[in-house]
């Protein structure tokens, strides 16, 4: 059995693993995709003390740092159940059951979907969620970005350098992105921003996306845009479905933690984007991972 088993291999999980391993206790990490959201990130300029880096570089650094310690790293393994018996059990999708005295949940979050007709059908055929991964596929073509928050406007700025034209569709009457991003997007000649637009359908020709339909909420009229790609940027969903029957979650599915990273299940700690922390960032999730590991260590020496 492990002393600390970390579920998730993003910045929160990596930090938790390193902090635990540095205590000389038996530490494991199970991760569906090591690196987490950082793997999908290009420019990172807010990782304090490193002026600029990118996702793949940071992920390589995380992995090297984790493997510098005596940590069992189990990649491409998904946890499907957490249950408290004598020890805490984590069941994997492949049926294996791992046991540990304490757990740190660091399963992060993923992009929210639009839930309109055509979205599922045209996923990877024009409907995309990661501009950094799929942007180049739409070189010279027309695209849309759904959502006018930071991620939507960042995506629009990013895509504008690759594609022919980007239309941003925002549901409400104002953009929620930071001013500096909005200014930048508005300064680009091939970016159009439409507010009060509700996307209603993804259009396609069976093979790939050909456009989208939206309702102009000012007039109630339905409008059509001809496009090759649609980038959906409307928020993050915590990866906590497998915890919903066992651990307290918020309405939005975030794991509820206290200042020590404790969850509602004794011996189970959590950190990062999967939790109810207000801000979701790399440096914040790393700090939270460290807190959760120290919380777990504290728990171990008291029990």
> What minimum distance in Å lies between the beta carbon of 77 and ligand FAD?
6
Q: In what order do the strands lie in the sheet with 221-226?
A: 197-204, 209-216, 221-226
C-beta of 119 vs 154, nearer to ligand FAD: 154
The packing angle between helices 11-21 and 55-67, to 10°, is: 20
The packing angle between helices 282-302 and 11-21, to 10°, is: 40
79 token code pair? 């946890």
DSSP designation for 25: -
8: contact with ligand FAD by CB under 6 A: yes
- The residues that bridge with 275 in the sheet, in sequence order, are 255
> What minimum distance in Å lies between the beta carbon of 136 and ligand FAD?
15
199: contact with ligand FAD by CB under 6 A: no
User: CA nearest 230: which of 198, 197, 203?
Assistant: 203
Which one of residues 281, 287, 294, 300 is an interface residue with ligand FAD (CB under 6 A)?
Answer: 281
Write each residue from 104 to 143 as x if it is in contact with ligand FAD (CB under 6 A), else as -, in one continuous string.
Answer: --xxxx----------------------x-----------
46: contact with ligand FAD by CB under 6 A: yes
Which one of residues 72, 84, 280, 300 is an interface residue with ligand FAD (CB under 6 A)?
Answer: 280
C-beta of 11 vs 152, nearer to ligand FAD: 11
Residues 6, 271: Cα–Cα separation, whole Å: 10
Is 268 labelled as part of a ligand binding site?
yes
> What minimum distance in Å lies between the beta carbon of 8 and ligand FAD?
3
216 token code pair? 């102009």
Stretch of 33-41, 164-172, 175-183, 213-221 contacting ligand FAD, by CB under 6 A: 33-41
238 token code pair? 């915590």
**How many Å from the N-terminal Cα to the C-terminal Cα in the chain?**
16
| Spatial contact of 11 and 286, defined as CB atoms under 8 Å apart | yes
Is 156 labelled as part of a ligand binding site?
yes
152: contact with ligand FAD by CB under 6 A: no
Which residues, numbered 220-259, are part of the site for ligand FAD (CB under 6 A)? 239, 242
Is 166 labelled as part of a ligand binding site?
no
Residue with tokens 């027309």, as numbered in its chain: 142
C-alpha distances (whole Å) from 303 to each of 3, 6, 201, 244, 297 are 12, 19, 55, 26, 10
C-alpha distances (whole Å) from 203 to each of 127, 142, 193 are 10, 14, 20
Cα angle 261, 262, 263 (rounded to 5 degrees) comes to 120
Q: Are strands 229-232 and 97-105 parallel, antiparallel or unpaired?
A: unpaired
Which one of residues 273, 292, 293, 296 is an interface residue with ligand FAD (CB under 6 A)?
Answer: 273
100: contact with ligand FAD by CB under 6 A: no
Is 4 labelled as part of a ligand binding site?
yes
263: contact with ligand FAD by CB under 6 A: no
Stretch of 30-38, 195-203, 219-227, 290-298 contacting ligand FAD, by CB under 6 A: 30-38
Q: Would you tell me which residues interact with ligand FAD (CB under 6 A)? A: 7-13, 30-34, 36-38, 40-41, 44, 46, 78-79, 106-109, 132, 239, 242, 272-274, 280-283, 285
Binding site for NAD(+), by residue number, is 142-156
Q: Residues within the annotated binding site for FAD? A: 3-18, 263-273
- Residue ranges for the known binding site are 3-18, 142-156, 263-273
């Amino acid at each position: 059995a492990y002393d600390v088993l970390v579920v998730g291999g993003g910045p929160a999980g990596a930090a938790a693993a390193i902090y635990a391993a540095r205590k000389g206790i038996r530490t494991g990490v199970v991760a569906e995709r090591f690196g987490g959201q950082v793997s999908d990130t290009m420019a990172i300029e807010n990782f304090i003390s490193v002026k600029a880096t990118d996702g793949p570089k940071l992920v390589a650094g995380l992995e090297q740092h984790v493997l510098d310690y005596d940590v069992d790293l189990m990649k491409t393994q998904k946890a499907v159940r957490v249950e408290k018996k004598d020890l805490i059990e984590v069941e994997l999708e492949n049926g294996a059951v791992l046991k540990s005295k304490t757990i740190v949940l660091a399963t992060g979050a993923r992009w929210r979907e639009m839930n309109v007709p055509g979205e599922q059908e045209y996923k990877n055929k024009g409907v995309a969620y990661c501009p950094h991964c799929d942007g180049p596929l739409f070189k010279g073509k027309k695209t849309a970005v759904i959502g006018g928050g930071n991620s939507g406007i960042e995506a629009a700025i990013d895509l504008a350098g690759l594609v022919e034209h980007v239309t941003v569709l925002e549901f409400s009457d104002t953009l929620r992105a930071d001013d500096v991003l909005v200014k930048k997007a508005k300064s680009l000649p091939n970016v159009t921003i439409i507010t009060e637009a509700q996307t209603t359908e993804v259009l396609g020709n069976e093979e790939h996306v050909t456009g989208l339909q939206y309702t102009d909420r000012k007039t109630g009229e339905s409008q059509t845009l001809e496009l090759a790609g649609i980038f959906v940027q409307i928020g993050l969903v915590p990866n906590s479905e497998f915890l919903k029957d066992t651990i307290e979650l918020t309405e939005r599915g975030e794991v509820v933690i206290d200042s020590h990273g404790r969850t509602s299940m004794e011996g189970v700690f959590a950190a990062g984007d999967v939790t109810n922390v207000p801000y979701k960032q790399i440096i914040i999730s790393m700090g939270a991972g460290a807190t959760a590991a120290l919380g777990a260590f504290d728990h171990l020496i008291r029990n």
